[in-house]
Amino acid sequence: MFSFEGDTGPYLQYAHARLCSIERNCGLVVKPSINFDLLKEKPAIELIDMIAQYPDVVKSALYTLEPCTVVTYAMKLSHIVSVALESLWVMGVESQLAEARLLMFWATRITLGNALKLLGLRPLERM
């Protein structure tokens, strides 16, 4: 129940907390107008694609009355976040690329946080 490995609640919370940490520590402000063409790495594309699926996941859960749909989505999103965070740095890269990645991670944090709230969990900012 308290494991940070595998498909667990703490794993979801940890992914959210890591995304919060990036926003706190990068020294940048989230800007809504960025050059999306800079986000062309495979992990970035996978992450953006996964974020875009969230509205359909919520609709599906509503129609089927199966909250496991949201849980499965949150787990997949957290796994993709973990992979993306290994290679898509915000700090130490050119400023336009950093801003683009920060917006992507911000959108991911909002989406994951909404999924957690939908499941009755309070997203943590620090662990």
What confidence tier does 2 reach under pLDDT thresholds 50, 70, 90?
Answer: low
- Report the percent of the chain where pLDDT is more than 90: 88
Q: State how far the Cα of 93 lies from the Cα of 112, in Å rounded to an integer.
A: 25
Report the C-alpha gap between 78 and 15 in whole angstroms. 6
pLDDT digits (tens, 9 = 90+) for 64-122: 999 999 999 999 999 999 999 999 999 999 999 999 999 999 999 999 999 999 999 99
Displacement of CA 28 from its chain's centroid (Å): 18
* 44-to-6, 32, 85, 100, 121 alpha-carbon distances in Å: 22, 17, 10, 10, 26
pTM, to two decimals: 0.92
Q: For residue 8, what are its two tokens?
A: 């667990």
- pLDDT band of residue 8 (cuts 50, 70, 90) is confident
Q: How many CB atoms lie within 10 A of CB 95?
A: 8
What token pair was written down for 39? 């986000």
pLDDT digits (tens, 9 = 90+) for 33-52: 999 999 999 999 999 999 99
